[in-house]
Structures are given as C-alpha cells and as structure tokens.
Chain A
Amino acid sequence: MSKIPADLKYAQTHEWVRTLPDGVVEIGITDHAQQALGDLVFVEAPEPGRRVGAHEPFAVVESVKAASDIYSPVAGEVVAANAELASAPERINQEPYGAGWIARIRPDDPASLADLLAPADYGKLLEAEGD
C-alpha cells in the first residue's frame, strides 16, 4: 500500500500538488507512481519561466523500465525546478513527497485547484486500479 499524505491534492495522472504559503504550488509524483516506475535514472525538469497548460506534459521521468511524461495539474508559469534531480533522480524514489519534488508553478487561476482529487478520492482511484 502506497502513502497518500492527507495535506496534499492529487491528479488522476498520479501527480501530487502542495500549495505553498505564497500561492505557488509544488508538484511531484506520488509514492504509487514512483513504485510503479521503479528506479529512476533521469529526470527532465521544466525550464523556469516556461508557461504550461493544465494536463500538458511538462517534465519527463525515466526509469530502468520506461520513460513517462509528467503532466502539469494546473495551468501557470514554472517558477522553479528541482535542480538536485539532475544528478540525483533517485530522490523521487526516496522521498516522493519531499526532496523529490519536481517543479513549482504559479497557477493562473488558484480556484482551478478545486478540480483536483482529495486524498481519499485518490486512494479510491488506486484501489480501483488494484493497488
């Protein structure tokens, strides 16, 4: 059973979203996603300043098994990317909800975060997927 912290929001495509005090959101992939991918060997984080649309691929993670696009749960502007992942992609496996964050985005419309899944709903999604 994978961890689903209660203080985060989730996307159907297995990203998590943490709202920071200044309204910027931090995004990463869930514990379930990192387990499914296996050991990560490469992360391509987005360039700060880039604009992304909701559900648009904005990062790529590559594991020993596959390469997967990471979709932005919100539309907005990338304000920071986790530079540490370039040399240490395994941070995502080790701490998917902490040091393994991928990018921070300033959402165009903070209200759009309401469309994301609550922890309990994400848990149900995983159950439905057989986790």
Chain B
Amino acid sequence: MAFIPHTPEDVAEMLAAIGVTSVEQLFEEIPAALRAGTPTSVPEALNEMEVGRLMLERASVDGLPLSFLGAGAYEHHIPAAVWAIATRGEFYSAYTPYQAEASQGTLQTIYEFQTMIANLTGMAVANASLYDGASAFAEALLMAARIHRKSSSLRVLVPRAVHPYYRDAARAITRQQGFELEEIAYESASGRTALAALAAHEGHDIAAIAIQQPNFFGVLEDADAVSEWARSRGIPVVALVNPTALALLKPPGAWRGGADVVVGEGQPLGVPLCSGGPYFGFMATRLEHVRQMPGRIVGRTLDLAGQPGFTLTLQAREQHIRRGRATSNICTNQGLMVTAATVYLSLMGARGLERVATACHARTRELIAALTRIDGVRAAFTGPCFHECVLQLDRPVGPVLARLAERDILAGVDLTPHYPELGSAFLACATETKTSADIRALAFALRDALQTQHAA
C-alpha cells in the first residue's frame, strides 16, 4: 500500500488547476537566502536491524548514572501499569483521533485529564495539553495579555527566578508580537522573588505578571503576596507550577490574589526523562477566560438519546475555524503523554501524589543536610524549598561536576552560565527515587572530589 496518496498524474492535475508548472514554483516566494537547499550531511538509510543497533549504542552512551538533575525535568517512579495501559492499541496512535462518533474512549481520557489538572491547580477549566511547559508558559503570557483588555501594554513582568529556558522560549515566541519581558530581581538571601522590586513598576501599564512556584531555584515564592499585588492593580497573574508540588502546596486558584492562567510541565506525571522529550504542557484557567485559552478542550455533553458523551468544544477559538485570529497557531495536544499522565494520576490518587511530593521534599532536605556538612559546600538560599536547592562551592563548579560524572554521578546543573551572580553554584534535586544510600554516595563522592581538587 502506498502511503503517499497522490500519483504523479494527481500532482500534475492539481498544478494545472492552479496554473503553476512545478511544485518548486509554490515555494518561490521564500527568499533563496532562507532556503536550506538539499541536505548534505544526512547519512545513508539504515534498515531496522541497523537502526536498532545504533539506538542501543546511543542509549549505552547515556549509561545509567545516579542522577540528581532536575531543573525542569524530574525522575520519578512510574508504575509499570502506566505505559502498559498508555501503549494499548486503543490509545496508541500517531495522531489523536477526535471524532466524537469514533473516539469516545480517547475523548473521555482527555476529559478526565482536564478534570484532574483543574482539581490540582484549583482552577475551573483546563485544556487537553500543549507541547511542553516552556511553550505553555509563552502561550500563558499571550493569553494573559489578551485577557487584560483594559491594557494596551505588551510589557510582562517575569521574575529572574523563573526557569531561564522558559524565559528564552517565551521571549522567542512573544517577540514577534512586540512583547517585552521585564525581569524582576530575587532576594539574594532567600532566593525568593523580591516583593520590593515590584514597587519600581507601580503605576505602569503592565500586561501580565508571571510567578513560578516553586521557582527555578526550588525555593517557595510568596505567591499569595505577588498575586495579591497584581490583583489589586488589575494585572492578570500567570502561575507556572510543578504538578507534583501541587499535591502539597496551596493551588494557584486559592492564592490570595488568585491566578488567571496556570501552566506547567507535565513530565513529572508519568512521563520518562527520555533525553528531553516528548513531554507535555498543561494549562488551566478561570471559566470567564476560557474563550481566550489556546488548545483543544473536550467537553461532556448529552447525545440525541440523552446519553452522556464527550466531544471537542469551544472550537471557535481554534485555528481551523478562526485562522490567523485564533488563540494560537502553534499549539497541539500531546495525546499519548496525556494518556500516560491520566493513568499515572489515577493510579496515584490524591493521597499517592501527596506521598510522592512528601518523599521528594524529605529526600531533598536529607540531601541538603548531607552536602552542606562538607567543607566548601553551602546552601545558597535560606528560603524554604520543595525538591531542589542551589548549592555553592568554594571553587569552580564545572570541574567538580565533571569529576563526579566520571564516577557515574550527575550531581546537579551548573548555574554559572545562567546566574553568574551566584558564583560557583549548581542546582541539585532529589525525588522519591533517591535512597539514603544514594545521597550518602553523592556526599562521599563530592567530598572526595573536593579533596582531590584541593590536592591538585
């Protein structure tokens, strides 16, 4: 069976109908300088056996290190049932089928996912997911500016303590629409976003404000105070949250000033690290803002016979209807990842997720205690944290981390390129997957690496 449905005759006929002579002619408006030309470095095709071997070799390069990396992607235990169910033929497909008449199972799964995200975030309504946390964050800023109809400003306040890659992605996506991201400093002692820094923006026309909870440093923000500051000035609040942490923390919907749009990276909910993706973003909002929310939304309704059923709803926001004036033209649903997350959350339940979050927090406290006992290691911030923390060394971080990597231990993410003001700092994370023995092994290796480097 041919997978390219049109024959050369079909192509010729279609070209003739629109009055061009070649397919190439359709691309003429793209300037030559912008065209990639013929790829030159693409290797010869491989057969299945060769590809299998190549993948195995590549995977073995990663190895199975003891990892304390977090910074946006988190290693959690994934019950075997999650992917056994998510990869069943009924769910597993290259494209999410949305036809209500043929896909009630898929639609119900998405509906239940939306319900779980709405519960977790304390918001009224959630969408079917977005590409990943960073693009969801960018979409949330755009959405918040649309909600803020009294403001003509495109200035958005984004704390420096928001994930640097998320700020980069948001800048890249919103720049063409004229958005300006203005940084809010953090307190050098606590690691929290400085409420005092908000005063500089008093009286200015601000489109939206973002707050990450916990922030990139793992530190808990005073989300009540930030959201209240914004609410009393009519500025929409974008909450960027970790879904595991929400099992313990006050949901953004219950923040003193409330949140208007809540987004985050869904990977911690049953999606493996997988070298960086695919992951998924989630997004929730208040009911009054639902028409400004991008992405697909599944609704529950009644069919002609009065039976409950599920179908896509509020589609007039979307690009297949509103075209260029849609809420977004760069979003989709990550159906398979969402299926895994829905199964994960169902298996965990509210109490299970809370136990995971509690274990993460306990392990991280254990990690901080074990590492800060070492000479030359100190915690950078005093603010309480969830499952990550910034540690500072008395010498350059890079060589020390490299030394640990040689021993198959990934101790953390070097923050020097992103936060030079923190000096020799790295971000370490411990989830429920780390045992006390793992933490002792890290502490032992770090002490050893620091002593060896002293000697050198």
Instruction: Report whether B321 and A69 are in contact in the complex, using a CB–CB cutoff of 8 Å.
Output: no
Chain A, 9-49, CB within 8 A of any chain B CB: 42, 44, 47, 49
- A10–chain B nearest beta-carbon distance, Å: 24
List A residues 50-90 near B (Cβ within 8 Å). Answer: 57, 62, 66-67, 69
Q: Are the C-beta atoms of A67 and B317 separated by less than 8 Å? A: yes
Asked if B325 lies at the interface with its beta carbon under 8 angstroms from chain A, I say yes
Residues of B within 8 A of A69 (CB): 325
Return A45 CB to nearest CB of chain B, in Å. 10
Contact of A57 among B149, B317, B325 (CB under 8 A): B325
Q: Contact: A66 with B316, CB < 8 Å?
A: yes
Q: A62-B316, A67-B316 are in contact. Are A42 and B291 (CB under 8 A)?
A: yes
Give me 12 A-to-B residue pairs in the complex whose CB atoms sit less than 8 angstroms apart, sorted by A's number.
Answer: A42-B291, A42-B316, A44-B291, A47-B149, A47-B150, A49-B150, A57-B325, A62-B291, A62-B316, A66-B316, A67-B316, A69-B325
Output the least CB separation between B327 and chain A (Å).
Answer: 10
Query: Which 9 residue pairs across A and B have the least CB separation, nearest first?
Result: A67-B316, A62-B316, A47-B149, A67-B322, A47-B150, A67-B321, A66-B321, A42-B291, A66-B316
Q: Which B residues lie within 8 Å of A57 (CB)?
A: 325
Contacts of B150 in A (CB 8 A): 47, 49
Output the nearest chain B residue to A41 by Cβ-Cβ distance: B316
Q: For B291, list chain A residues within 8 Å (CB).
A: 42, 44, 62
**For residue A66, which residues in chain B have a CB less than 8 angstroms away from its CB?**
316, 321
Among residues of A, the one whose C-beta sits closest to the C-beta of B291 is A42
Name A's interface SS.
Answer: strand
Interface residues of B in 281-322 (CB under 8 A from A): 291, 316-317, 321-322
Give the complex CA separation of A101 and B325 in angstroms. 23
**A69 to B324 Cα, complex, angstroms:** 12
A67 surroundings in chain B (CB, below 8 A): 316-317, 321-322
Q: B321 to chain A: which residues have CB within 8 Å?
A: 66-67
Most buried by B among A42, A66, A67: A67
Q: Which of B149, B150, B316, B322 has the most CB of A within 10 A?
A: B316
A42 vs B149: C-alpha distance when bound (angstroms): 17
Which B residues from 422 to 446 make CB contacts under 8 A with A? Answer: none
With contacts A49-B150, A66-B316, A69-B325 known, what are 13 further pairs, Cβ within 8 A?
A42-B291, A42-B316, A44-B291, A47-B149, A47-B150, A57-B325, A62-B291, A62-B316, A66-B321, A67-B316, A67-B317, A67-B321, A67-B322
Q: How far is the CB of B146 from chain A (nearest CB, A)?
A: 10
Chain A minimum-CB-distance residue to B315: A67
Q: Give A57 to B324 CA distance when docked, in angstroms.
A: 13
0/1 string, B313-357, CB within 8 A of A gives 1: 000110001100100000000000000000000000000000000
Closest to B151 in A: A47
| Distance, CA A57 to CA B323, complexed state (A) | 14
B125 → chain A closest CB, angstroms: 15
Distance in angstroms from A80 CB to nearest chain B CB is: 15
- B residues near A62, Cβ cutoff 8 Å: 291, 316
A13 to B325, CA, bound (A): 17
Q: Determine how close the nearest CB of chain B comes to the CB of A13; give it in whole angstroms.
A: 15
Contacts of A47 in B (CB 8 A): 149-150
Instruction: State the Cβ distance, B276 to closest chain A Cβ, in Å.
Output: 36
Closest to A63 in B: B316
Distance of A15 Cα from B322 Cα, bound (Å): 19
| Shortest distance between the CB of B213 and any CB in chain A (Å) | 30
Instruction: Give the residues in chain B near A42, CB-CB below 8 Å.
Output: 291, 316
Separation of A49 and B149 alpha carbons in the complex (Å) = 11
For B322, list chain A residues within 8 Å (CB).
Answer: 67
CA distance A62 to B318 in the complex (A): 12
Give A66 to B323 CA distance when docked, in angstroms: 11
Which residues B124-182 have CB closer than 8 A to chain A? 149-150
Q: Which residue of A lies closest to B318 (CB)?
A: A67
Q: How far is the CB of A81 from chain B (nearest CB, A)?
A: 11
Task: Say how far B315's CB is from chain A's closest CB, in angstroms.
Answer: 9
A69 to B316 CA separation, bound complex (whole angstroms) = 11
Q: When chains A and B are docked, how far (Å) is the Cα of A57 from the Cα of B150?
A: 17
Residues of chain A within 8 A of B316, CB atoms compared: 42, 62, 66-67
Distance in angstroms between the alpha carbons of A66 and B140 in the assembled complex:
24
B174 to chain A: closest CB distance in Å? 21
